[in-house]
Amino acid sequence: MRVLLTGGAGYIGSHTAVVLAERGHEVVIVDDYSNAHPEAVRRVAEIVGKAVPMVEADLANQKAAAQAFTDAAAALGGELDAVIHFAGLKAVGESVAQPTRYYRTNINSTLNVLDQMRAHSINRLVFSSSATVYGDPETNPIAETQQVGVGLTNPYGWSKAMNEQIIRDAAVVQKGFRAVLLRYFNPVGAHESGRIGEDPSGIPNNLMPFVAQVAVGKREQLSVFGSSYPTPDGTGVRDYIHVMDLAEGHAAALEAAGEGVAEYNLGSGKGSSVLEVVAAFEQASGRPVPYQIVDARPGDVAECVADPRKANAELNWQTTRSLADACADSWRWQSQNPNGYAKDGEVTA
């Protein structure tokens, strides 16, 4: 298939581009590089052994989105068959501080993508959703049958839940439309080559890249947000999924998509606490990771673990990599690229 990856230069998008290319799909990336680097796309091409065309555009802008779809199709020499929609802002804490920015960017980009899919008669969509749509979950592990959009704790989660509903409504009026909503848990790790990985701009919002930057000496210590949750060691518990497992889940969803809209959790089904992740990373890197306990963050929940059985059965997909594998791959990426994708002379925050 000819596949457009919106936000494809980002962390999950770049790894998915590798998997799709290795499976024989033709890939084109559209990204505005607001939280990504063109070097990631060059390295994807290096890994897969062929050029990966890219178009720079802000998909939250209606005119830019229209031009981007035209340019993307031209880059692949024919109309597109599918879209995997990663583009959007993604930090829970930042969304609490900047709610209107998150709603404007995340919802407008999805509206524009859906309009362009209809204009170009593209009927296959995989959407990058999130486990945050479950809010503070009723039970753990979380199955897709749990309510979505009830009691959500942050604008990021609300924007994802709203986008899921927008996609469901759009599917009703576009004949033959096939959409898969993938609810991620916590992506970690990097490509085993160490050539691509997570490269946050400024201070990392996610645990693993912050731990990696402490281990490599870029940051002094980790702040552990909260130690009195009802969990075994008092720190937050999350389901950490290796980014390559996650990327393979996108390929499986793309290939298996049936008519209508389906939703799947992508996670390992196993929860790990913040302190367990710290210990695993120290083991993988052979470096200490100093930390301090600080107040819990607004919008965080105590525990969030996937029930991935629906994806296992219907997508013929399951995770094959462990937290230890993710830590080892993250350390390889971070130690070989201490400043991420920055080239000589560039300065990172």
Quote the tokens at residue 50: 């062929």
Query: Which residue, 294, 314, 248, 176, is CA-closest to 25?
Result: 248
CA distance 246 to 317: 10
Active-site position among 11, 134, 156, 184: 156
Token code pair at residue 11? 């962390």
> Per-residue DSSP letters for 123-186?
-EEEEEEEGGGG-S-SSSSBPTTS-SSSS--SHHHHHHHHHHHHHHHHHHHSTT-EEEEEEE-E
Nearest one of 59, 52, 57 to 104, comparing CA atoms: 59
CA distance 277 to 200: 19
Structure tokens belonging to residue 204: 């990392």
Q: Which of 116, 95, 117 is nearest to 105 (CA)?
A: 95
Residue whose tokens read 């927008």: 166
DSSP structural state of residue 59: T
C-alpha–C-alpha distance, residues 235 and 173, integer Å: 45
The length of the chain is 349
Give how far the C-alpha of residue 159 lies from the chain's centroid of Cα atoms, to the nearest Å: 15
Burial (Cβ within 10 Å: 0-12, 13-18, ≥19) of residue 125: buried
156: annotated active-site residue: yes
Which tokens in the block code for residue 269? 């089904």
- Catalytic positions are 156
